[in-house]
Amino acid sequence: MIDNIGEAFGYVFKDSRWPSKIGIGALFLLLSFFLVGIPFLDRKSVV
């Protein structure tokens, strides 16, 4: 269990490469929405 919740959220900014890691995470989030979510919303493409 985390005793210091501020340290848990601040840990990301202690890493010098955090912008690229956040960007890669955001890219995968968007790709998962487009590759998985949109075909389910579009009933014509669901087989």
Whether residue 46 has pLDDT greater than 90: no
CB burial of 1-14 (b: ≥16 within 10 Å; e: otherwise) equals: eeeeeeeeeeeeee
- Angle ∠(20,25,27) on CA atoms, nearest 5: 95
Q: Is 9 contained in some domain?
A: no
pTM: 0.55
Q: Is 42 contained in some domain?
A: yes
Q: Is 12 contained in some domain?
A: no
* pLDDT digits 0-9 by tens, 6-39: 877 787 788 888 889 889 999 999 988 888 777 6
Q: Is 36 contained in some domain?
A: yes
What is the separation, in whole angstroms, between the first and last Cα of the chain?
45
Q: Is 35 contained in some domain?
A: yes
Q: Is 38 contained in some domain?
A: yes
Position 18, amino acid: W
Number of structural domains found in the chain: 1
- Angle ∠(26,34,38) on CA atoms, nearest 5: 145
Residue 21 domain boundaries: 17-47
Q: Is 29 contained in some domain?
A: yes
